[in-house]
Structure formats: C-alpha cells, structure tokens
Amino acid sequence: MLGIIACLTSCEPSNNALTSEALQKPIKIAVSNTPLSAPLFIAQQQGYFKQNNLNVELVRFNGGVKCFNAMVNHEVDFATSSETVVMFNSFKRTDFSVLASFVESDNDIKLLSLNPQKYKHLDNLANARIGIIKGSASEFFLDSLLIMYNKTQQPIQRIYLSSEQLLPALLNDKVDIISAWEPLSYLLSKKMSRSPEIINSRGLYHLSFNLIGLKDSHIEKDQKLSLLKAINQATEFLNKSPKQAQQNISQVLEVDAQQLQYSWSDYTFRLSLSNALFSNIQTQSQWAIDNQLVPRENRVDFRLIFDRQLLETYTNQEAGW
C-alpha cells in the first residue's frame, strides 16, 4: 500500500512541469503578412521561441492596423506594426507600449508611375493625379517629398484609395502616380522595361516595424525579456544567413523569392528603440496635427509609450552587467 502511495506521489506532475513551455498558455502575437515581420517568422521557424521556453502562436493579419486592433481587442497579447500606426493610435489611447523595433527601411515607400521620366522634373507634378492612402505613411511620404523640394504650392490632385486599389488605379489610368509601399514597386517593375520609380527618395522616410504590447498584460516581465531574446536571435540569423532567410520567408509568405531579393538589401534587422524612431514619430504627429487628421488637444508625450526600461534590462542581461 505504501508503495502504491509512493508511486502515485512520485508520478504527480510537479509545479515546474506545469510551467514548462509545452504546457504554457500560448503567447499570441499578431504579425503582419509582410517581409518586415521576418524576425518573428524566423524565430518560430528556427525554434528560438522554444529555446527560450516560450510557447508562441503567430496570428497573421494583413497590415499593422489590423494587428494593433487585434491586440487592443484582447485577441492577442502582442502586435507588430509600423511607427505610423503607433503615432495615430497614441492620439486615442496610451494603454500600450512599444517594446522594441526589430527592422527598419529607408527605401520602402516610393513615388511610382508608368511614365516616370515625365515626372523626373518635379515641376511636372502640377495637376498630376496622385493615388495615396489618406492619413497614412503613403500621404506623409508625399508631403515630406513636396516639402523637401519646395513644391508644397504645386497644384496636385490627391486621389484617396485603399492599398488594394493603388496598383489597379495606376494600371487603368485612374491616376498618374501612386505613393506606395513595397512590393508594388517590384510588381510594377515586372510589367515595365524600366524602373517605375520617379525619384530616388532613399533616406527621406524611415519605416520601422515594432513589437507592441498592452501595459496591463498578464505576460510576465521574464517572458517579455525572453521574447526580446528570441527576436534578437532571429535578427542575428537574418543578418548572418540572408539567402537562407529569404528562402524561409518566401515559403512562409508564399511569395516569389525574386520579390524578396528586390528589396531585401533595404532592410536593417536589429533590436532597438532609437532616438531616430522617437523623432520620426514626433515629426509624423506634428504632420497629422497640421493636416487636421488628429485632434491637437489629444497629443501625448511619446516617452509614455516607449518601454525603454525593458530593452535596457535585456541589453544589460546579455552584456552580463
């Protein structure tokens, strides 16, 4: 009898076993179906989440806006989105934090046309029909370009479209130019014998993709630190093995490997929360206020939504401090 009791006791699962990666409630992360989410896909593929005792489920959405909404609706624990999504939502709420940026690009948005030579001289933009997505990085980029070249008084027709409508509108002569993200430049270049880009705008706009979480979250700090470590391991893999990474991401997103290669060199994969990102969000928020896209009185101190302490703690741990 004592032997049976001893067996039953020894066979009971321990508390440690119950908290193992396999039995944890999954941490759900909303990820956008874009190569910009590559560090999350690679962390899953290469087993970096599991190595750090995390049970992670990637929930895929089309676009950072949908990812952010899934998070605030408590469908997921974290979201990935651009800094523009962060900026606009900061005027509505401050119950979220940017934990880290994991990729940047200074050449992701471009002015594209079927007749790019015509618009190389920007005076020819006068009366052009330009397809843009209202209140987005697409419009911010156009305005930044006009300011840089002192063309803000140029009479142009802004044609507001959805992201899905941009390329068809250009191909069907509904607009002359579009302000668009990749992969539209790549897709358009496949239909033309020359580059569709009107002007080299590298460096004008810095796009970032960021990991965002709610401040009031059941996810423990140690788990967040492990999450940062897994993502950082993925960025290291992306930088060390770009060809293998492109093959992996091509399979995950079901896109042509040539499409990834077209813009891959524009991506900088690294874990950070830089002053440049903070400055970029500040600039975009002022633009949004000036264009009456957001209420001025709702402007917040963006330091309130940057969780620098978490990333600093992770960095110090990795350095052994």
The domain covering 24-106+206-319 belongs, at the CATH homologous superfamily level, to Periplasmic binding protein-like II (3.40.190.10)
Residue 49 confidence (pLDDT) above 50: yes
| Structure-block tokens of residue 276 | 């440049």
CA angle, residues 310, 230, 260, in degrees to nearest 5? 115
For helices 221-240 and 38-45, what crossing angle results, to 10°?
100
Separation of alpha carbons 244 and 250, rounded Å: 10
Across all residues in the chain, what is the average pLDDT?
A: 90
Cα of 173 vs its chain's centroid, Å: 30
Which residue do the tokens 């952010």 mark?
Answer: 68
My answer on whether omega of the bond before 183 falls inside 30° of 0, hence cis, is: yes
Evaluate whether the domain defined by 109-189 bears CATH number 3.40.1190.20: no
Separation of alpha carbons 64 and 284, rounded Å: 17
Percent pLDDT > 90 in the chain is: 75
Taking phi over 0 as left and psi of -120 to 50 as alpha, with beta for the rest, 134 belongs to beta
Query: What's the length of the chain?
Result: 321
Tell me what pLDDT residue 2 has: 46
- Please give the average per-residue pLDDT across 169-197, as a whole number: 92
The closest alpha carbon to 85, from 77, 76, 96, belongs to 96
CA angle, residues 136, 140, 144, in degrees to nearest 5? 170
Contact 208, 272 (CB under 8 A): no
pLDDT tens readout for residues 83-106: 999 999 999 999 999 999 999 999
Contact 67, 185 (CB under 8 A): no
pLDDT tens readout for residues 101-156: 999 999 999 999 999 999 988 889 999 999 999 888 899 999 999 999 999 988 99
Separation of alpha carbons 271 and 228, rounded Å: 8
pTM across the whole model: 0.85
| Structure-block tokens of residue 187 | 């897709």
Which residue do the tokens 């978490």 mark?
Answer: 310
Separation of alpha carbons 229 and 182, rounded Å: 28
The closest alpha carbon to 60, from 33, 27, 26, belongs to 33
Strand partners, 180: 110
Could you check whether 24-106+206-319 and 109-189 share the same CATH topology? yes
pLDDT tens readout for residues 262-304: 999 999 999 999 888 999 999 999 999 998 999 999 888 888 8
Separation of alpha carbons 80 and 320, rounded Å: 28
Query: Residue 80 contacts by C-beta under 8 Å, 6 or more apart in sequence?
Result: 29, 30, 31, 32, 36, 37, 40, 64, 67, 209, 210, 211, 212
| Structure-block tokens of residue 271 | 């874990």
Torsions phi, psi for 28 (to 5 deg): -95, 130
- Please give the average per-residue pLDDT across 305-316, as a whole number: 95
Contact 260, 249 (CB under 8 A): yes
DSSP class of residue 158?
E
The closest alpha carbon to 85, from 24, 133, 25, belongs to 133
Separation of alpha carbons 30 and 57, rounded Å: 9
Torsions phi, psi for 63 (to 5 deg): 105, 150
Contact 220, 88 (CB under 8 A): no
Tell me what pLDDT residue 299 has: 87
Separation of alpha carbons 206 and 17, rounded Å: 45
Domain definitions of the chain by residue range = 24-106+206-319, 109-189
Strand partners, 28: 57
